[in-house]
Structure 1
């Protein structure tokens, strides 16, 4: 089977499981499921903690443990090692792993845009496009992470070679901000609420904005299925009942996000996620909320992009 066919089959699985979630009944599940999230506090992964906060896992009779790992590439390694059963991370990890012979699939597709922004330090006004990345140190969550994939793509698309710049793993939040303040990175890719924090202090400006469908299409040429729940195919096949219940819970959350304001959603989240700025958190959430799918189904044309 070709890789392209495998990827499309994975997308079909996402659509099938998520669609079934619209009507599937709840049932009791005895087995604990550990899911590693590629950064609790990142708004792109909002559905994980929100589902827990809304009680939807319990409604489905599930015993779900959410674990935090800021770098998605480390989260996928934990899954492959069997330490966790699922990962809330970017769908492009499924593509990368399948290319390496690891059978992984998206169960619920949370977003259809990356929710990422390439920020440039205001100390470096000479960077006006990715073509200016030559010789620069660029911040990414981790080497092999989705931010690393996207950064490399944008640079190559603008005429650079991979050796023309350096990807620096700086995480997100405070560590990303410190790296930019200390000029360890001159630009970098990150998500909310880190974006708003740096823009508010005037320490960075937006170079490429992929928080919306329009911005994503302009940067990448189409929709880009990003945040998702993905799992190893053999585990999915052996635990279909549990997987369906997970889909039920997450699809309810997608509907909640789609029908509630940023303020209403923020009220359900832990206060430390606001990083002392609830107003900014809500504003960013309202601005980027449209990136979330309303039903957990893979957007048409997403895997091809």
Structure 2
């Protein structure tokens, strides 16, 4: 009997099609919530570069996820989306997990994107050419991405170290791109707390004078007195408990992005991000990335003592935290990252 290769080929294709369909369905069933909405405040910022890499390189899709990312003017707005129920997860600052627990809402960060805040506070050379000390900021207008965001928290901390209270200045939300540039250049604000690539652009054009810089680990430790966790993915404790496999898939994608970033050349970064992120100046973007590269977490893990540093930082300018019992063990977890590290050794 002659072997029919044609029939065998057809049978094999049908088998593989059925096998793959079965496994894709099985895979989808393991994800309790394959469609996930993520809110972020200033997606174009290098602060959130790991999120962009995970999206642009298809890492979320590889995990079986359909991720929809909504961009807001600042982290506080992204947090509001989570609290309001229009977002499942936030790509935002770790400090929010502490500030929300003080309001009796348990939010847990499950993967770390940045091990330094990358936030820079600077004064305008146009409106404050004779700036000398923090005290000179009293009564001035400070531009932040959004009131209540990590940029305003950073500003509050810098002010506190200089003897000023948050109420001694006026905070104005200016976003993280064109709005911030316009506000500074038109003289609407006297100082700014923002991130790269915006800050590097203002530096190169000599439009600002930096008074506090957290783009490097050394300067971050010097300013805060210890490791300071920055950008994270966080969600309500209820979401993580209800959707552990989905949370794991999100973590897997982010850890994979973080590992890619450790090896990627600056030119690779430029190719991976949307053209609009480059502000029309590729060398500028590369220069900015070089300045913040070490601030990006290499593995997604929260450092020991980081939560304590963040709490002490918030307490320095927020007296309402003094009588609050904050359980730092619920503000973050490394459990999902530990599993992701096993997958992407």
Length-normalised TM-score, structure 2: 0.78
Match of 2:235 in 1: 231
Aligned pair 1:163/2:167, yes or no?
yes
What secondary structure sits across from 1:102 in the alignment? coil
Greater displacement, 187-196 / 255-264? 255-264
Instruction: Give ranges in structure 1 of 5+ residues lacking alignment.
Output: 1-25
- Once the two structures are superposed, the pairs formed by residues 168-187 of structure 1 within 5 Å of their partners are 168-187=172-191
Whether the aligned pair in 2 keeps the contact of 1:261 and 1:286 (CA below 8 Å) is no
CA–CA separation in structure 1 for the residues paired with 2:81 and 2:89: 9
**The structure with more helix, counted as a fraction of residues:** 2
- Once the two structures are superposed, the pairs formed by residues 117-266 of structure 1 within 5 Å of their partners are 117-123=120-126, 124-266=128-270
Match of 2:335 in 1: none
Structure 2 residue aligned with 1:58, among 58, 61, 65?
A: 61
Structure 2 residue aligned with 1:77, among 76, 80, 90?
A: 80
Q: 1:179 to 1:51 in 2, by over 3 A?
A: same
CA–CA separation in structure 2 for the residues paired with 1:193 and 1:60: 30
Match of 2:22 in 1: none
Whether the aligned pair in 2 keeps the contact of 1:114 and 1:227 (CA below 8 Å) is yes
What secondary structure sits across from 1:77 in the alignment? helix
CA–CA separation in structure 1 for the residues paired with 2:222 and 2:302: 20
CA–CA separation in structure 1 for the residues paired with 2:288 and 2:162: 28
Whether the aligned pair in 2 keeps the contact of 1:118 and 1:189 (CA below 8 Å) is yes
Aligned pair 1:112/2:110, yes or no?
no
CA–CA separation in structure 2 for the residues paired with 1:120 and 1:167: 14
CA–CA separation in structure 2 for the residues paired with 1:61 and 1:295: 21
RMSD: 1.4
- Once the two structures are superposed, the pairs formed by residues 266-277 of structure 1 within 5 Å of their partners are 266-277=270-281
Aligned pair 1:292/2:302, yes or no?
no
CA–CA separation in structure 1 for the residues paired with 2:86 and 2:161: 37
Deviation at 1:261, TM superposition (A): 2.0
Q: Larger Cα Rg: Structure 1 or Structure 2?
A: 2
Match of 1:97 in 2: 100
What secondary structure sits across from 1:304 in the alignment? helix
Greater displacement, 195-204 / 247-256? 195-204
Deviation at 1:70, TM superposition (A): 2.0
CA–CA separation in structure 1 for the residues paired with 2:136 and 2:27: 55
Structure 2 residue aligned with 1:88, among 86, 91, 102?
A: 91
CA–CA separation in structure 2 for the residues paired with 1:196 and 1:265: 17
CA–CA separation in structure 2 for the residues paired with 1:200 and 1:246: 36
Greater displacement, 116-125 / 79-88? 116-125
Match of 2:323 in 1: none
Q: 1:127 to 1:27 in 2, by over 3 A?
A: farther
| Total equivalences in the alignment | 280
Q: 1:27 to 1:107 in 2, by over 3 A?
A: farther
Give a deviation string over 1:83-102, Cα, whole Å, max 9, x none. Answer: 11001010011111111111
Whether the aligned pair in 2 keeps the contact of 1:108 and 1:247 (CA below 8 Å) is yes
Whether the aligned pair in 1 keeps the contact of 2:143 and 2:191 (CA below 8 Å) is yes
CA–CA separation in structure 1 for the residues paired with 2:167 and 2:96: 22
Instruction: Give ranges in structure 2 of 5+ residues lacking alignment.
Output: 1-25, 310-345
Length-normalised TM-score, structure 1: 0.88
